[in-house]
């Protein structure tokens, strides 16, 4: 029983899920490699022009994918990255502007931010739904107002992250500042996500403690009620 309780302790589960998410993202090397096509595109666009820069960016994304396959590393993040670079390159080609390369990411932030915000407004904060599924706790947390507030906090942080990305990068896009746009894309990418993740872990732990306390108190309440009955 002690071993089982330790394995399913909220902190242990959170740590396991954190490690799982990092592995699915390709680890630290995967996060670093995801920045390569952006850097290559901006440099190549400055030196050799847009058309060549598009092909070089696609080539770098394909090289990252091939490298991960050769090393037998998780390829899912590289495949997703290659598709994302392909869409970005297509938009840049169609618009004929280097800044078009970042348009897909800008509207992706808008879409994600909107979904997270709507989930809060309808009282189904998305972080709570996701964690309830991953931890197999279900959606019972919605009956606990304090736990609901913690999940609102975690979801709200992600709303702020996506909103900041959207508004800052939209401003730079409108100003046609491709270099600063690339910098913002990188600086507001994993660094902001890492900070939001820390807040999420803190909020989830607080919510889990509340729910565990309620669950532990329920048997005691039932027993006392039974003893009071004639």
Task: Dump the DSSP string for 128-160.
Answer: HHHHHHHTT-TTGGGG-HHHHHHHHHHHHHHHH
User: Which tops the pLDDT comparison, 6 or 138?
Assistant: 138
54-105 pLDDT tens trace: 999 999 999 988 888 888 877 777 788 889 999 999 999 999 999 999 999 9
Residue 103 lies in a domain: yes
Q: Does residue 79 share a domain with residue 147?
A: no
Q: What was the pLDDT predicted at 136?
A: 81
Last residue of a domain, one of 81, 96, 111: 96
Alpha-carbon span 160 to 178, nearest angstrom: 23
Ramachandran sector of residue 26 (left: φ over 0; alpha: ψ -120 to 50; beta: rest): left
Q: What was the pLDDT predicted at 30?
A: 56
Q: Which pTM was predicted?
A: 0.78
Q: Does residue 159 share a domain with residue 108?
A: yes
Query: 210 with 147: CB under 8 angstroms?
Result: yes
Q: Over 50: is that where the pLDDT of 8 sits?
A: no
Domain that holds residue 66: 1-96
Q: Does residue 199 share a domain with residue 110?
A: yes
Looking at the structure of the chain, the number of domains it has is: 2
Last residue of a domain, one of 74, 96, 118: 96
Last residue of a domain, one of 96, 122, 141: 96
Residue 15 lies in a domain: yes
| Biggest CA pair distance of the chain | 89
Q: Give the confidence band of 220 by pLDDT, cuts at 50, 70, 90.
A: low
Q: What was the pLDDT predicted at 170?
A: 97
């Amino acid at each position: 029983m002690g071993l089982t309780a330790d394995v399913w302790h909220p902190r242990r589960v959170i740590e396991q899920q954190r490690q799982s998410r990092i592995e699915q993202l390709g680890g630290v090397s995967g996060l670093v490699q995801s920045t390569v096509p952006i850097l290559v595109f901006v440099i190549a666009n400055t030196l050799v022009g847009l058309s060549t820069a598009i092909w070089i960016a696609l080539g770098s994304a394909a090289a990252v994918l091939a490298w991960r396959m050769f090393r037998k590393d998780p390829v899912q993040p590289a495949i997703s990255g290659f598709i994302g670079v392909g869409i970005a390159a297509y938009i840049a080609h169609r618009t004929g502007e280097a800044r078009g390369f970042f348009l897909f990411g800008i509207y992706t932030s808008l879409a994600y931010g909107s979904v997270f915000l709507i989930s809060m407004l309808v009282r189904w904060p998305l972080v709570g739904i996701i964690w309830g599924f991953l931890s197999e706790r279900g959606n019972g947390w919605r009956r606990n107002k304090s736990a609901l507030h913690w999940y609102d906090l975690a979801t709200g942080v992600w709303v702020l992250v996506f909103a900041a990305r959207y508004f800052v990068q939209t401003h730079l896009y409108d100003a046609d500042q491709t270099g600063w746009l690339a910098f913002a894309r990188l600086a507001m990418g994993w660094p902001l996500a890492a900070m939001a993740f820390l807040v999420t872990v803190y909020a989830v732990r607080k919510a889990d403690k509340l729910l565990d306390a309620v669950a532990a108190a329920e048997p005691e309440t039932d027993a006392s009620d039974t003893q009071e009955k004639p």
